[in-house]
Chains A and B, each alone.
Chain A
Amino acid sequence: MSLLRIAPYRQIADDIAARLAASRQPDEPLSPWPEEVIVPSRGVAEAIAAALLARSPSGIAGLQLQSIETFAQRLVNASGRMPRVATPAERRLAMRSAVRVVNHPMMQGRGVSAMIERAYRDIRDGGITLADFSRRASRARGLRDARRTEALIKAWQEYERLIAQLRAIDPADLIGQAIECIGPATPRQLLAGFYDVTGMQLELIEALAKAGCLASVWIPSDSPFAAPFITSMRRFAVEEESGPSAAPVPERTAVVYESRLTELRATCTRVALLLENGAPPSSIGIVARAWDPWEVRLLNRYANESGFRTTLHDERPLTSHRIGRGALTLLRIRERGFPRAEVLELIRDGLRSETRIDVDATDIATRTARIAGGTSNDLAAMRGRSRTIDGYLALVAEIESLTASIDEDLLGRLPDMFRVETEADLSAVAALDEIAALFRRATVWRRGFDLSAVVDAMEQISLSDAPATDLPAIWAGDVMHFRGRSFRNLCAAGMQDDVFPQRRIEDPLVPDSDRRLLGLREIGDGRAEELLLFTLLSDAASESLELSYSVGDGFGKVLRPSRYLRPFSHRTGGSEVLSAPIASPNLQRQLQLLARAGTRSTFDGYVGPLGELLRSKLDPVSPTQLEDFGECPQKFFLKHVLGVRDIDQPEHEIQINHRDKGSIDHRILERFYKSLDREEIAQAAAALPVLPDALLADLDRIIDEELDALEQQMPPFNRTVREIERRATSRLLREFIADDIDDLHAQQLVPRWFEYRFGSRYRENADQPASFIVEAGGIPVRVEGTVDRIDAGGDLLRIVDYKSGKAARHGKLSDKIDRGVRLQLALYAMAIAHFFGAAPHNVSGTIKPLVVREARRTKFDFSLEEKHDRLLETLAIFVRAILAGEFPAFPNESDTDFNSCKYCPVNHSCRTRHDAEERYSMQQFGDPRTLLGGSE
């Protein structure tokens, strides 16, 4: 008869060590041990080993401290059978494949195969064969959904068939085989620290007992959850009274923190303090009911900053490693239509391509060419445009051929398609090798290549980022891995409601009501087991136990303490988000930025007078550039002094890029109006509100020609949207022209000049080769630019500026000219008055929004005469500021006032715009003109 003893883990380890030590032949330390040990967890094994080593510090050899599964495999191997247990990846894949052949709606759902696999595992581990299960199911009445159970059985049968085809067995079968192998030669086993086992495991234990190979059983608790196991062990084991436990009672406290961040930070600080006070690393443990990956990462980061590391490793999904990501991209790129960004990303991820490209240059060139994606054939029209574009097309063609067929063969080649540089790369490649091998093995199923299964398999793989530090290691883990361990000082973190105790959810496939009918073990609510786990945890500390929880996750979510903490006294923990941050050598400079930003300092765009460098920016300068300055001097600095440009995002621009669309609209209108004379305008005006058919036909023809040309130039990725835009252009311009002709007729004006260019930079294309020189505060400034349209009638001239965006933005134009935030058009008016020798009172300007609907109600006109003096004053202020090197950022985002940031190339990352303090100090001034000293 075996012996049964109920004792805490710590004592189990001591007892077993004493027994094993006593059983040794002192003269031959390599001789076989008369007894082996079966343990439920590594923790128990390590505790026993540690206790043994405390007795034999020189070491021990040959002792088997093993899990039930290892024991079973050894037993079966020793019999000469050597079966292969299917790997988890094989089992997952087999179940995925199995559910597909069963015709039941539930089989379509995501995650169903994993759930079916879990239910299968549970039933088989419970010691029930599939045949047995089907028998019980066919007899049972009142199952929740008998059809579903039938489908389930079919899936499981198919699964077993697939596993057999792989020439592997299920883990449950391994234990079954081991039971058959138990015999007189089986070494005697000590069962150390189980409080519950699966049905299959119980059968093995019983078989061991029957064969007289179960020497002794230790159970760590007599709590209600362990009761069934204790009862079953009592059938063949005699209980031994344990002596009174002399375990010291640790100091126990519950500590509340503001957030998970502060909690983990403080836990690490506490551990660091213990280490500092001389506690050995092995005497400290950190445990939680469960760790989510983010918490592991935080814990490790904080541990590192506190001078130690933990035994928990950060996991990094294979798909977030560049090689894993690249492999995935290659597998999917064809079905996604070869998006430009993904093609380039492949190169950046290290694809070894035959085609050599400079990836950054190609990135820019393809953006500028507005390539969003497509095959080399789709983009054929672009061939020959530049070497860079040709290189890109060659690359796409190469990737097309690489991915011509997506199958096991490609999968097998993937690992060698990417450049390998580091240890992590080697593991990524090895993981890909494994996946490829798995799918090669699965070809025996003859199911065809399933890309989603490959993706699923890849998503299951994590590469472990083991810390390469020599910092002391502190054990950290979850409660399940904790079992069997004990520490002098233990930190139990994350003691939150809903986390500990963890709520069990019954198996939706074989719910407890079905289990009852089928004679299977029920899942229950798990409360008893949770309580046992908590008790084991709290018994495992000998000196101090700190149980901590947070009242929030740090990002606004309320968290509640675990009910287990009720008996403890609670205290509030520190609220430091940061302990002792490491400064860079640049700290003083960084702090100086903080101290000075927002005070018109050198960090705020006040670069000081730089003579020629800045003067050259006014020689020449365009009205558009000056308007940029008027909105935000820093924007001028960035764009026109530092040369910052917008970065196009063709893949996100499903519509025609707004700049291209602007030019096309201008060209269409120019061509349209050029073909009309005063007479035709008068006739058209008379026919309003309907425009004469001939004119409409003309307009549509021009639109088609322009858009066809664009299509040649930049083949659209999305043709449907392009067609919608083509029709929209026609609709909007018809309305615009009707309105415009009406207006021209009323004003007695005719469009006379289009895209009127003045200034030397236009060379032979200039309508007026001279620049416009304006005296701004005594400094001559050379202005050059292009006017959209000039209307004329008698002595009158009108400068017209088309706007495609929201008309509302241009409201209160006159006022905005005075504030200096809109001065492009006024400056044009001044230039045109000069070139045409017109008196200011004969020159006016207007904005014509192309979307008439929004425009009609607001008037966007001004007369040059009214604006002239104030404009000169504004220019003087701006020119002085530019020459003095004053370029403060002026964030403003009001669409109706002026929106400086909307079209600024750094609006996503501008410091001034995003620092409340800096922004505030600017906005107090209303507009840059006032900020730079102008009157309000």
Chain B
Amino acid sequence: MSASQRSFAFEVAPKRPPARANLVIEAGAGTGKTTAIVAEVLSLMLEREDLAPERIVLMTFTEKAAGEIADRIRGALEDLRARLDAAITAGPVVWPEGSASPLVIIKDLERARRLIAHHLQEIDAIRSQTIHSFCQSLLRSYPIEAGLDPQFKIVEGFERSLLLGQIYDAWLDHETRTDPQTEHVAEWEQLFEHAGYLFQVRELVLALVNRRDLLGETAYAFGELAEAEGMIRDAIHAVRRCDETGDSDVQRVLEYLRATDPPPEQLTEGARLDAWIDYLRPVAPLLREANLPKRGVLKEAIRLLRSEKKGTSIYDRLVSHRAAMALIAMTRRFIAWLDEEKRALGVVDFDDLLLRTLALLDDPIVLARARAQFDYIFVDEFQDTDRTQARIIDRLARDEGGNWVPGRTVIVGDPKQSIYGFRRADPETYYRMTEQMIAAGAERRVIREQYRSDPPLLAMLNAMFSRLFASPDDPEPHDPNVFRPSYHPLIAARGSSRRTLDTPLTILQTQAEDRTGRFFAEGETIARWIHARRDGGPRDLQRFAVLFRRLTKLDDYLDALDRHGIDYVLPPTRSFLDRAAPVDLLAVLRAIAYPFDRGAQISAARSPYFALTDLEILEGGTTTSQDSDCTDPWTRFTSAIVQMAAESRHLTVAGLMDYVIGESGIEAVYAAGPDAGRHLRHLEHIRQIAFEYDLRAGGSVRQFVDEITRRRSEPEEMEPTLLDDSQNAVRIMTVHAAKGLEFETVIMPDLEFAAGGGDAVQLFTVEEPKSLVLSGRAESISAGFRLAEGEPLRKIASRREDAEMRRLFYVGVTRAMTDVVFVTSLSDQTKASGFLKCLYESLGVDRAELMTMIPAEGRELRETPIGTIAVERSTAVEGAAAELHDAADSTTAPQARSIRRRRLLDAELERDLAAGPLVPDAISLPAAVAERLSPSELASRRLGAKHRAAGLLLHRFLELWNGTDEVEPLLRQIAVEAAAEPDVVSRVRRRVTAVTRSPVFQRILQAETIGREFPIRFIEEGTPVERRIDRLIRENGGEIVVDYKSGKPAAARLVRDREQIERYCRAIREITGRPCEGLIWYIDLENDVVVEVQA
């Protein structure tokens, strides 16, 4: 029985559970990883009656996966229960049902029945969660030990970048303005010298913050000057000694070096570095461009002092190192500051969740408690864990003696699918940790049955990836610095194919005129190819997925699909703030916020919110108001903006947005276009950001607009929601987003695209020699002067990128169930970059060979080292160009090189509006939303508010005093009750004497009191209401409602007050059937007015 076919057989009531080993499962794409996990959990449950599901932790990579695994486990238990209940024979029951190689075999049905029923009751307690939410719950249980606000909030996406930006600004101000320390300022200067601008310093620091996990590594080092210095001294020494000559530039360098002594050796590291930089500065420009002398000592010396290539020099490398060290020191300080600020604000981000958890587990008591909480830990997609995550798992999986607890940990992953390098996934860590586990006795299990792909496709995938990846039997030792997983060929678990195809692999060659034309051509080709394969069925589009390395130049592809009427679904895009809907709304907000910003005014006027023509703007905007017609569009527009600005004073930012959107009817405008859903979602998103801003920052619209403009940097990568699985539309997404999904036909365009180079700096570790490497815009000594296999360590980053590119290619291709289509635009100029390189390698052909396979026209089958593939030449572009010319309508697109996408859903309306005369604008003055109170009302209300405390105290006194008791004790008692301030009490004290003598008071005293704070309930306009009457008295056989008020009974107020008391009287009358009148007593420190309300 192969390892992958191992089953769990449960004998009749085993005395004790079989000893379990830890487990490392390697599961290639489509092999049913989740099934493997479910089987493991089932086996545990069928083993142990005392197992509480909450003691099983399943860590997944996404929320979606977390939910799916939990559902699958429950589903499996329910399925087993049903089958066990239905089982009539005593024969074994297997899972999955009907499987030829079942993963679970149950023999003792009775026991299994009991156990399953038992576990099903508690199964919801199983802890299936992402590692982030696992960390979150741990931190919430130990916030004090973790040094966190117990109510900490997680900030992500735009909110996080906003916060990070603000905190950075405050830190910069602190470091350079409010508390400049000499050594800190020196570092700022060193980094500034290298980066040139403060904004670039910021970029560098923020880029490093994302690798804060590595900044704490103590076992790795950046390297010191000494590592380079020996070489430099040798080179200079050689130059000074030899009498060779070079061209004029080199000659000047030689003269300088010979005439000037290098820095002495006895200085400290920092001073020596400065001295070297000063020493080399004058010759730096010459060195950068120096031509190497033909031969000799001088050639080598100059090569070292210049660099392998022109454009840089030893001086630049030292400056870079100095800047790198300054950057590291500054970033560490910034992180400390950031942590403090976040602590003060009570927020954490996703990185904090991990780092804080790891730090929390340093506390032995917490670690022991955390370990004691779980019996089993399953980690899914382990190849995508980063080193912090791995360490957390490592800690939980071991015992106090530091040994792996046998049977506790199951790790599942596919090293070939490690594609999240940009999120710090660290396949080298995967390798080390799994090897350690295996060395400590864990079982390695490779799952080979593949359920996803049709057999012919799987055969081809096996052939391709056996070429692209190493063989498992490869005798080559493992490269400790660059992880290269091996490929285990898979066995088709699907018996038959879904569709009969001549070959599952097609190369679709397009004809592109130039580099940019490539996207256009590829888009057109794909659209036609899909179009030709539609069968009118309900899923005829859904089966296609177009997978990109990155979603750049997407517009060309979408355009083509639009032209061909092919529906598509896109995951939410990240940089939505740069999309039309938010930009237009922000333009209007900016115009409101800054009346003096003419650019903003014009942008707002041009936006669909107002839709002025440029001519109207010109005519209105360049004439002065005196000679302009007051009803011209520009004046109407500016009046609307002025009105909105006036209202904005009374609105929050989110409130202002609602107001602007409502007044301009922009939603109706978007709703008329084909992209309504997207625009409206973007609009909702920016509204939400504004709302959060109001809650958190509470700034003005000006501050909001400023913040958004400054912090437009991309929000974080999000877990994509495939919103509607049922929509018949082509799926368009990145390979990253496609992970975990499958599609019948996978189409991969834009193959040449090479990734990398996005970040300002990269920080990474190297195992041999153990180093921390900073490379990119600032480079540590370790990057350029330390070598591994003869190459500077900096190069390891690109080697890792290359390895990841292969894995990414693997993930993309293996999403397919029936066939894969590669879209190429090969020409003599095509470089072997990106996926294209992977394609050549996996097919076993090079560009030239592939080009010879492409037929002059149509589709042909060709033999390749991996089998028969189809090669097809598309003539889509010429066809499209011709059609485009035919379709170009002189009124709408005089020189169209592309057909325009539909702009309005109603084609006829679009035609009419496009061709017809200019519709006159109908901008109206927005309505006022905030009702302004009159100055007199404001004054009296404000005065009333000021005297309110005294009024209330007085009312309370009048309520409680019986007319005979001593005043002072009561007054003192109610003053405490009301927390009245001393001056209020003394004013009331003075007032009491006069008031109690008043006839109104005497009248109330004399009457019979029915109740105080007397509740009444009645039905008003169909709804039951509850009211309280200050005092209800009885006089002459009828009731009187007494109501105390403070302030003056101004006319408007009196009307309102009367209405209120009349309602109460009416209610009492209805209840008693007796007459009832009202008495409104305006009584406070200044006023004593009574108003009688008659029936």
Contacts and interface: CB of A to CB of B under 8 A. Distances in A.
B617 A642 contact: yes
B256 to A, nearest CB: 6
Given A297-B691, A724-B192, A908-B709, A603 B571 contact: no
Contacts of B622: 613, 641-643
Interface string A48-70: 01101100011111111100000
Contact of B150 (A58, A360, A508): A508
A421 B724 contact: no
B315 to A, nearest CB: 10
B596 A599 contact: no
B1039 A30 contact: yes
A606 interface: yes
B924 A596 contact: no
A654 B170 CA distance: 12
Given A606-B614, A607-B618, A908-B586, A426 B941 contact: yes
A270 interface: no
A592 B151 contact: no
A555 B614 contact: no
B441 interface: no
Given A53-B1019, A440-B981, A608-B615, A58 B1070 contact: yes
A590 B197 contact: no
A109 B124 CA distance: 34
Interface in B1066-1085: 1067-1068, 1070-1072
Nearest to B576: A555
A585 to B, nearest CB: 4
Interface stretch (A92-100, A124-132, A342-350, A750-758): A342-350
A509 B150 CA distance: 10
Contact of B1016 (A61, A853, A925): A61
B177 A719 contact: yes
A222 interface: no
B922 interface: yes
Contacts of A727: 189
Contacts of A294: 688, 691-692
A246 interface: no
A227 interface: no
Contacts of A724: 185, 188-189, 192
A738 B594 CA distance: 46
A511 B140 CA distance: 12
A645 interface: yes
Contact of B695 (A320, A348, A433, A587): A320
A1 interface: no
Contact of A424 (B189, B282, B650, B913): B650
A48 B344 CA distance: 46
Interface string A418-433: 0011111110011001
Given A84-B976, A424-B650, A642-B622, A911 B583 contact: yes
Interface in A510-539: 511, 525, 527
A558 interface: yes
B67 A856 contact: no
Interface string B679-708: 011001100100110110111101100100
B64 interface: yes
A916 interface: yes
Interface in A642-663: 642-647, 649, 652, 654-655
A422 B598 CA distance: 30
Contacts of B723: 258-259, 551-552
Contacts of B1016: 59-62
B219 to A, nearest CB: 29
Contacts of B148: 109
Interface in A535-571: 551-552, 554-560, 563
A22 interface: no
Nearest to B184: A720
Nearest to A319: B698
B681 A261 contact: yes
B481 to A, nearest CB: 32
A591 B669 contact: yes
A82 B974 contact: yes
Given A508-B144, A608-B615, A584 B192 contact: no
Interface in B568-621: 571-572, 578-580, 583-584, 586-587, 590, 594-600, 602-604, 606-611, 613-615, 617-618, 621
Interface string A622-650: 00000000000000011001111111010
A920 interface: yes
B305 to A, nearest CB: 13
A92 to B, nearest CB: 13
B652 A261 contact: no
Nearest to B892: A599
A721 interface: yes
A141 interface: no
A720 B180 contact: yes
Nearest to B62: A558
Given A437-B981, A909-B586, A61 B1015 contact: yes
Contacts of B173: 718
A351 B133 CA distance: 46
A43 to B, nearest CB: 13
A345 B979 contact: no
Given A49-B1024, A63-B1017, A857-B289, A600 B894 contact: yes
B718 interface: yes
Contacts of A641: 618, 622
A325 B922 contact: no
A186 interface: no
Interface residues of A, number: 175
B1018 A53 contact: yes
B146 to A, nearest CB: 9
Contact of B1015 (A63, A506, A559, A563): A63
Interface in A303-358: 316-317, 319-322, 324-325, 328, 337, 341, 345, 348-350
Contacts of B611: 586, 589-590, 592-593, 603
A582 B1022 contact: no
Interface centre among B125, B609, B652 (most CB of A within 10 A): B652
A110 interface: yes
A592 B903 CA distance: 10
A508 B596 contact: no
Contact of A921 (B603, B898, B942): B898
Contacts of B559: 920
A642 B621 contact: yes
A391 interface: no
B718 A556 contact: yes
Interface string A247-260: 00000000000110
Given A49-B1017, A325-B698, A30 B1024 contact: no
A452 to B, nearest CB: 9
A581 B683 CA distance: 13
B345 interface: yes
A652 B198 CA distance: 11
Contact of B197 (A364, A441, A584, A655): A655
Given A647-B597, A724-B185, A420 B942 contact: yes
A924 B505 CA distance: 33
B904 interface: yes
Contacts of B652: 316, 320-321
A559 B375 CA distance: 28
Given A588-B919, A591-B913, A688-B252, A583 B665 contact: yes
Contacts of B149: 109-112
Closest 4 CB pairs of A and B: A584-B665, A111-B149, A909-B587, A320-B698
24 contacts: A30-B1032, A57-B1019, A62-B1014, A341-B703, A509-B144, A511-B141, A527-B125, A552-B723, A555-B681, A555-B685, A556-B718, A557-B721, A560-B63, A577-B684, A585-B924, A592-B919, A599-B914, A602-B615, A637-B614, A642-B617, A719-B177, A721-B188, A908-B590, A920-B898
Given A61-B1014, A511-B141, A851-B196, 4 more contacts: A596-B913, A602-B614, A720-B177, A911-B587
